[in-house]
Amino acid sequence: MLEGLRRAFRGLVESVATEELTDQKLGELLEEFRIALIANEVSVEASEFLTEKVIEALRGKRVARFSDRRSVVVDALRKALEETLIEGDPKALVREIEAYHSSTGEPYPVLFVGPNGGGKTTTVAKLALFLKESGLTPVIACSDTFRAAAIEQMRTLAERVGVRCVSQRYGADPAAVAVDAIASARSSRAHVVLIDTAGRSELNRNLLEEMRKIKRVAMPKRVIYVGDALTGNAAVEQVRQFDAYVGVDYVVLTKLDSDVKGGTAISLCYATRKPILFVGTGQDLRDLAPFSKAEVIERVLGGLG
C-alpha cells in the first residue's frame, strides 16, 4: 500500500542528501520528483505544491552537511503533507448523531453518493456496523433501484450486520424509498438512516439530478462520497461534480489496501478540501478504518530522516 509514493519521496530525499547540488541539479531532481508524483496519481496541482514546499525549505540555505539536507527536505515534505491531508472524525459523527436524535427525536439521515463500482453499497453496510457497535440503531434505505441485484445485495449485507433495510421494487422512485426509510426509523426510534444510492459507470446529468432530488426530499444532515482509491485523479473530478450538485461533507476511499500508488488521497484533499472519514481496507464488513494522515505520512516518510 502506497509503495509508489514512498519510492518517490525516498528518491528525492536520497538524491538531495547524497549529491552535490547546483541550482541546475536541484531543478532536475525536483522535476524528476514532480513527475514521479504525477505517475503515482498525485494531481499536477498537488505535485507542484509539494515541490514548491521543498524549494522554499532549501531556498537561501547552503546546507553543508548531507545529513542536514536530508532533515530539511523530510521536514518540508512532512509539513506539506500535514497541511494537505484532511482527516474526518468518526467519533465526532457518532456524537453528532446522538445529539441530534436526543434533541429532536428524529432519525439522522446520511446520504451516500458516488460512481458505480466504487464500493458504495458495501461501505454503507460497513458504516452501519460501525454505528451499531458505537451504540446507535441504524436503518438502511436501499435507494439504488437502478443497478441489477443492488436491492438483494443490500438486504443480504443488512442481514449480516443485523440492521433493518427498507426497499421497494426496481425502478421505484429512490427519493420515495429514502422517505419510507426515514418514516420507518422514526416509528422505531432508530438513530440514523443510511441512504444507499445508484451510481453509473460514467457520471451524467440525470444521475446528479437524481441525487439532488433525493437530497431535497430526504434532507440528509450529511452527504458522504464513496470512491475507489484506484481511480486516481478521476475521483477528484467526481467529488467536485457531486459537491456542486449535493454538497459533499465527507469522503470514504475504498480499496486503499490495494492502492500501490497512493496519490489519490493527496490529490483529493488538496483539490477539494474535503475530509476523508474512513478508508476501506478489505472485503470483510470490519475492514473499515478511520483515515489517519499521521499513518499515511509515516508510511511514506518513515525512516527517511
Burial grade of 273 (CB within 10 A; 0-12, 13-18, 19 or more):
exposed
CA distance readout (Å), 187 to 132, 174, 181, 190, 258: 18, 20, 10, 8, 41
Residue extents of the structural domains in the chain:
3-84, 90-292
Angle between helices 66-84 and 293-301 (to 10 degrees): 150
Q: How far, in Å, are 74, 76, 305 from residue 69 at the CA level?
A: 9, 11, 10
Whole-number pLDDT of residue 62: 56
Whether the pLDDT of residue 66 is over 60: the answer is no
- In the predicted structure, residue 260 carries a pLDDT above the cut 80: no
- pTM score: 0.93
Residue 58's identity, in one-letter code, is L
Strand order in the sheet with 288-290: 164-166, 138-143, 192-197, 108-113, 222-228, 250-254, 276-280, 288-290
pLDDT at 69 over 60: yes
Task: Give residue 305's pLDDT band: very low, low, confident or very high (50, 70, 90).
Answer: low
Instruction: Outline where DSSP puts E strands in the chain.
Output: 108-113, 138-143, 164-166, 192-197, 222-228, 250-254, 276-280, 288-290
Average pLDDT over all residues of the chain: 90
SS3 15: helix
**Considering only CA atoms, which of 196, 188, 144 is closest in space to residue 170?**
144
Q: pLDDT tens digits, residue range 195-228?
A: 999 987 667 888 889 999 999 999 999 999 999 8
Provide the CATH topology of domain 3-84: Four Helix Bundle (Hemerythrin (Met), subunit A) (1.20.120)
pLDDT tens digits along 138-181: 999 999 999 889 999 999 999 999 999 999 999 999 999 999 99
Q: Which is more confident, 233 or 174?
A: 174
The yes-or-no answer to whether 3-84 and 90-292 have a common fold is no
> Under CATH, what is the fold of the domain 90-292?
Rossmann fold (3.40.50)
Kindly tell me if the per-residue pLDDT of 65 is higher than 60.
no
Q: Looking at residue 56, what is its pLDDT?
A: 85
CA–CA dist 180, 175 (Å, integer): 9
